[in-house]
């Protein structure tokens, strides 16, 4: 039996019964290795007959040594945020599209997971963002984000104006469609489509990426992960703060979003031959010869 992981949780993509069969196949494989396998309640809803022990995500966080997530990057984002306080190692089996975070193929998952059980893996620590939405002295919301926090105009369509401060120091006033605060993980998501830089996941930094700024000299900037960022709404007919696109908060003039590094981190496990730059070439189709 593996000495690295005694109890493994298998978590499937929400409302996706098609993940059930590969998930149960891996469950039987792990049980054959003498490993205790558990699943979450939402995944259990798609499983009939004999199934592994069902635990809540909080119980999984407290009791599991490893969580294997079946789905795409969105599924991994949701599970990672929930399990971050418990420091559970995460592995992603890709059933989505790009798969920046879920890099284990269904076709090779038995061999890959078998090797991981014996200690053949690469550990990668990813930072999170912690955000407070303030209206005067009232905290409207506090949210953890893995990819990004963004402030955007709403359906009205007019530009919004924001004041941006770093560690209490004025940086600029921005008139734009919005502003993205991205972690290194989020640098290959929404921020990338807005012209932001790709940040290596080992860095403790975040990027500020304007979305369609009114002044072309407003460029993306990378700041220390130890910084405290404050975004204040100066003018907006309709504005929202978004957190990983999983939740949002309606904003009014003078509302503030305070963003800092979260005290918890995500621990991702990759196959032993994981190469970040190879992954970028593959996912972003770099170095392809034009047809």
pLDDT of 1 over the 60 cut: no
Residue 81 lies in a domain: yes
Single pTM value for the model: 0.92
Provide the pLDDT confidence category of residue 97 given band limits of 50, 70 and 90. Answer: confident
| Alpha-carbon span 281 to 283, nearest angstrom | 6
Answer whether residue 3 shows pLDDT above 60: no
Share of the chain above pLDDT 70, in %: 98
Q: Are residues 72 and 194 in the same domain?
A: no
46 & 83 share domain: yes
* CATH number of the structural domain spanning residue 32: 3.40.50.10330
**Residue where one domain finishes, among candidates 91, 119, 147:** 119
Is 141 in the active site? no
- Asked, for residue 289, whether it belongs to a domain, the answer is no
92 shares its domain with 140: no
pLDDT in tens, 197-236: 999 999 999 999 999 999 988 999 999 999 999 999 999 9
Alpha helices in the chain, H assignment, sequence order? 20-32, 41-44, 57-63, 73-83, 109-117, 190-193, 276-284
Number of domains in the chain: 2
The domain boundary, picked from 96, 119, 142, lies at 119
Q: Which domain CATH number covers 218? A: 2.60.200.30
Which residue range(s) make up the domain with 227? Answer: 128-263
Instruction: Identify whether residues 83 and 49 lie together within a single domain.
Output: yes
124 touches 260 (CB < 8 A): no
Average pLDDT, the chain: 93
**Which of 73, 103, 244, 255 is flagged as catalytic?**
73
Does residue 231 sit in the same domain as residue 132? yes
| Shared domain check, 135 and 107 | no
**Do 42 and 89 fall within a single domain?**
yes
Q: What is the pLDDT of residues 229-267, one digit of tens each?
A: 999 999 998 899 999 988 999 999 999 999 999 999 999
Q: Do 94 and 141 sit in the same domain of this protein? A: no
pLDDT (mean) for 81-108: 90
Q: Does 184 share its domain with 158?
A: yes
- For the packed helices 109-117 and 20-32, what is the interaxial angle rounded to 10 degrees? 40
Confidence at 285, pLDDT banded by 50, 70, 90: confident
């Amino acid at each position: 039996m593996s000495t690295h992981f005694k109890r493994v949780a298998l978590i499937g993509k929400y409302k996706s019964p098609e993940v059930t069969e590969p998930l149960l196949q891996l469950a039987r494989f792990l049980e054959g290795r003498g490993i205790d396998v558990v699943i979450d309640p939402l995944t259990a809803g798609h499983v009939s007959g004999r199934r592994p022990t069902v635990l809540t995500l909080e119980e999984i966080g407290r009791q599991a040594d490893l969580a294997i997530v079946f789905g795409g990057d969105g599924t991994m984002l949701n599970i990672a945020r929930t399990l971050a306080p418990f420091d559970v190692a995460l592995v992603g089996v890709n059933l989505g599209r790009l798969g920046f975070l879920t890099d284990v193929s269904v076709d090779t998952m038995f061999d890959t997971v078998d090797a991981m059980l014996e200690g053949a893996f690469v550990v990668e620590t990813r930072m999170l963002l912690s955000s407070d939405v303030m209206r005067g002295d009232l905290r409207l919301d506090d949210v953890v984000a893995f990819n990004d926090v963004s402030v955007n105009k709403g359906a009205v369509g007019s530009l919004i104006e924001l004041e941006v401060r770093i560690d209490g120091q004025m940086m600029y006033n921005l008139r734009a469609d919005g502003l993205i605060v991205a972690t290194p993980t989020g640098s290959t998501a929404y921020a990338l489509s807005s012209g932001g830089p790709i940040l290596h996941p080992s860095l403790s930094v975040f990027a500020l990426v304007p979305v369609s700024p009114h002044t072309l000299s407003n460029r993306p900037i990378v700041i220390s992960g130890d910084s405290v960022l404050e975004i204040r709404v100066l003018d907006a007919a309709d504005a929202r703060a978004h957190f990983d696109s999983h939740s949002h908060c309606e904003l009014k003039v003078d509302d503030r979003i305070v963003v800092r590094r979260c005290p918890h981190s995500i621990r991702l496990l990759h196959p032993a031959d994981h190469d970040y730059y190879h992954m970028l070439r593959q996912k972003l189709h770099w170095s392809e010869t034009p047809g």
